[in-house]
Chains A and B, each alone.
Chain A
Amino acid sequence: MKAVIGLEIHVQMTSLKTKLFCSCPADYRGAPPNTHVCPVCLGLPGALPVVNMEAVKKAIMLALALNCRWVAEKVVFSRKHYFYPDLPKNYQITQFKGGGGMPIAEDGYLELEMGGDVRRVRIRRINIEEDPGRLVYTEGDITSSPEVLIDYNRSGIALLEIVTEPDISSPREARVFLEKLRAIIEYLDIADLDLEGAMRVDANISLPGGSRVEVKNIGSIKEVEKALSYEMVRQKSLLSRGTRVDRETRHWDPVRGVTRPLRVKEEEEDYRYFPDPDLPPIPLPRELVDAAAALLPELPDARMRRFVEDHGLRREIAYALAMDKRLANFYEETLKYYWAPRTTAVMLAVDYLGFLEKNKLRMGEDRLTPKLLAKLVRLVDEEVITPEQGKHLLFRVAREGVDPEEVVEREGLRALRSEDELRTIVRRVVEANPKAVSDAARNPRAVNFLVGRVMKETQGRAEPRLVRRLVVEELRRRGVRVEA
């Protein structure tokens, strides 16, 4: 059975230095409660908001990356009214279509590859808005805590709200969509979505014959897939028993892995939207939007294509790299030191990611650097060590930050230093491999091959650079034009 799923995604722009309407630092995580606040984000009477233009710029970049056909000709903020203790003004400054207000962008789409099919998920609109503060329950949760504390450090953090059309047909597709959206957001340097609470998703799901159910405030992409899968099973079983699926709002409990009814809306809330008179519309001339378009970096899809077409990577490997900006950057950085795309890509996308996952580490928390990886790749690539040895060495390098070349040298793979002795072996290998010799002029790989042979003969003890030099010398002696 196909589901009809629409998503509403809130993304904190964590890469901004300051909040959306004041100069309080945007990095509030870990700060003592109510220390990153000022008259503006506390909503003190008389304090006035001033728009953080970086946030607007980022929103436009995202709109362009999500192929939005309509980008607002002016930035208008509206007030959305409701009483809640985490909302210091009892209205939220957001964007709203109507009464002179408008979202920053509308009518975009994102393409997904689902098992060879290209699926298009339409984006209804993108809004910029402020995050409310955070309620802290001293004991239990919202229903049981005897007292509630309020931390306004989060109040006024810039959020992007991305709303899709109900074009998603399975929980898995929802995950793939969110992963791609996450990649784009990271490429645009809008947010670090690994941070707790940086991405919050509301998901609407309905099955044929049932009503729309909204699951609120899901904290991660994996949880979205789980919550939606749970809802599909729940709704399917209701429908198969002939029970109605009511229109309702539910809450995802990630600990128990179930959704629960949150509240029954007795009437539509009236938010009394109107354009905020403290924030006059900011014109967005087309030249400015065009300039933003010109500043768009290479996005995940394009990067993946480049990895496939120019680096000769397999599609899945290229996708895995391209969908993770930091990993892809690491990969390209490594290639600057040593050009062996396929070996590098596999070591990163397979071995390294496996290592991180196994050790529950994030990139950057280990000690691998592009330079060290390049050395390692070269060792493997030149067949100084086997790929299997390379993998184990990678783990050690990532853990200890050791230089792989030094390790190879130190531990039994010591170079054979006698040039005379090596020359004998080189000569023997070269004579035994006439084809490689004849290829060497055109193909440096043939040289590598010969070097590899020599390495094998020496059981990995020779110093590869030395072997290489001797091979080249031997080839040149035989009239083969090779580069050093």
Chain B
Amino acid sequence: MKAWEMPATMVAEMVREGSLSAVEYVSKILERAEETEPRINAYITLLKEQALRRAEEVDRTVARGEDPGRLAGVAVAVKDNIAVRGVENTCGSRILKGYRPPFNATVVEKLLREGAVIIGKTNMDEFAMGSTTETSAYGPTRNPWNPERVPGGSSGGSGAALAAGSATLALGSDTGGSIRCPAAYTGTYGLKPTYGAVSRYGLVPYANSLEQIGPMARNTADLALLYSVIVGHDPRDSTSLRDSDTRLAHVEHIDPSRLRIGVIRELVEDPVDPRVSRAVWSVLSKLESMGASVEEVSLPLVEYALPAYYIIAMAEASSNLARYDGTRYGFRAPGATWEEMVVETRTRGFGWEVKRRIMLGSFILSAGYVEQYYVKALRVRSAVRRALLELLSKHHVLAGATMPIPAPRLGERIRDPLLLYTMDVATVLANLAGIPALNTPADVVDGAPVGAQFMGPPMGEPLLLGVSRLVEEATRFRDEVVQP
């Protein structure tokens, strides 16, 4: 087995017992990245020397007879909207060019404490606004399965790095599907945690009330391992749940014959692409044949969820992105006065999708419209949450497609924002409701994977991870590294 194909659990175990040198393994991953990056562009920053130095440190720790931690030596890719001290933090935007945070995100601290090697910062849609990783100011990321197609987004760099073997684990962030979407299109496993389970401290905000950092991996055990490291209460994040680590950091053993799955009809029927639906049903029928009960349910609110999601996300985004003005850090355009400098910086520093969302968000929050749009969207959000919790009181998990269409070709969706936004129809539900949701690979369509989505009750991660393991056993879709 090649180093870049190894599961994280194996790497960590071998490094810990001294049978694998972290330096040797990390060198291989870097070699692989050198080879695949020209075609894939998964990374904005690849931390070559820093990663090797870190790997040496891990090897020395092992040599001293000490335990470097549960992620000993494992190469983890970190999405470029998560702060790593001293490493450029662009969020895929020109406006943050050159900004190096003086602090680590809480999840990064946790990775380092467990011996992980941060291999680089991955490409993403600008400020996580997009589902294709095409809005990045640093060029699009291509899907390693089929470089004509997008890897999904916004955590497209993280998904592509896993599929290409230039990382063993990856962190993404999910505001409306940004982990599950690239997981679906790159044939990987991706978990959007319960809101508040993982600290957002150090995650550059797009829409604070919706997003979570989450793990991405090539198999369920790796996914659970990474999740167990990053989950947990953080006093620096006021939206962080208490005691979430002890409750959420394990994979529940599931007896399939007792598992009740509700399939959300709206997420497997028209307008969902029949090829995607077929793939989802094939996964579900495998679970059924293992003894699970699979029942169709309806969620008519799906139609309202998407506009509500975009209203809330854009409102919060317009506020969050106000701070990028060239005064303190990042890109600064020249200007005769401060006002001129700010206008010029924001005009040149932001891409068109970001500007669109800032403008719409500002409009949504303006006096006279805030009730009509924002407050109404919050009501829809509560209704969606209630409806999902109601369904989850009858079914252990809810299932459907992750993405309504197979991976589009580059440029296919990006021109029409409405077409782009409808890609998120199935994923935004979990963000609105704050519940955990996960993508498992389902099948390959037109040379690129499509995924199945499972949603669980709040704190239902152990259950979802258990279901993921069942799916993985049924599909045998695991540890897929492709040659781009």
Contacts and interface: CB of A to CB of B under 8 A. Distances in A.
Interface string A272-312: 11100111100000000000000000000000000000000
A43 B324 CA distance: 10
B316 A277 contact: yes
A364 interface: no
Interface residue tally on B, bucketed by range = 35 or more
Contacts of A49: 238
B241 to A, nearest CB: 11
B43 interface: no
B319 A91 contact: yes
A193 to B, nearest CB: 30
A279 B236 CA distance: 11
Nearest to B323: A89
A45 interface: yes
Interface stretch (B23-31, B151-159, B300-308, B365-373): B365-373
A274 B319 contact: yes
Given A46-B101, A48-B238, A274-B315, A91 B322 contact: yes
B209 A270 contact: no
Contacts of A270: 366-367
B204 interface: yes
A50 B235 contact: yes
A279 B83 CA distance: 20
Given A42-B328, A91-B322, A278-B208, A47 B370 contact: no
B125 to A, nearest CB: 16
A46 B205 contact: yes
Nearest to A40: B236
A91 B103 CA distance: 22
B205 A45 contact: yes
Interface stretch (B195-203, B243-251, B278-286): B195-203
B208 A277 contact: yes
Nearest to B234: A48
Interface string B309-342: 0000001101100111101110000000011001
B237 A48 contact: yes
Contacts of A257: none
Interface in B237-284: 237-239
Nearest to B330: A45
B322 A83 contact: yes
B365 A44 contact: no
Interface in B194-221: 200-205, 207-209
A479 interface: no
A81 interface: yes
Given A39-B102, A278-B238, A83 B82 contact: no
A442 to B, nearest CB: 65
Contacts of A85: 325, 327, 338
A99 B368 CA distance: 11
B319 A79 contact: yes
Contact of B323 (A45, A148, A150): A45
B374 interface: yes
Interface in B168-208: 200-205, 207-208
B45 interface: no
B91 interface: yes
Given A83-B325, A274-B374, A50 B238 contact: yes
A150 B338 CA distance: 12
A46 B108 CA distance: 12
A246 to B, nearest CB: 24
B202 to A, nearest CB: 4
A51 to B, nearest CB: 7
A272 B362 contact: yes
Nearest to B361: A272
B328 A45 contact: no
B105 interface: yes
Contacts of B378: 100
Contacts of A90: 322-323, 325
A91 B362 CA distance: 13
Contacts of B375: 99-100
B379 to A, nearest CB: 11
A39 B103 contact: yes
A280 B339 CA distance: 33
A106 B338 CA distance: 38
A166 interface: no
Contact of A47 (B99, B103, B208, B371): B103
A33 interface: no
A217 to B, nearest CB: 20
B123 interface: no
A111 B339 CA distance: 45
Nearest to B235: A50
A85 B327 CA distance: 7
Report which residue of A43, A88, A90, A99 has the largest number of chain B beta carbons within 10 angstroms of its beta carbon. A90
B96 interface: yes
Contacts of B374: 99, 274
9 A-B pairs with least C-beta separation: A90-B322, A277-B209, A272-B365, A277-B208, A45-B204, A46-B202, A89-B323, A46-B204, A46-B83
27 contacts: A39-B102, A44-B102, A44-B103, A45-B83, A45-B204, A46-B204, A47-B201, A47-B202, A48-B200, A49-B238, A50-B237, A51-B238, A81-B322, A83-B322, A85-B338, A89-B323, A90-B322, A90-B323, A99-B374, A150-B327, A272-B365, A272-B366, A272-B370, A274-B319, A274-B365, A277-B209, A278-B238
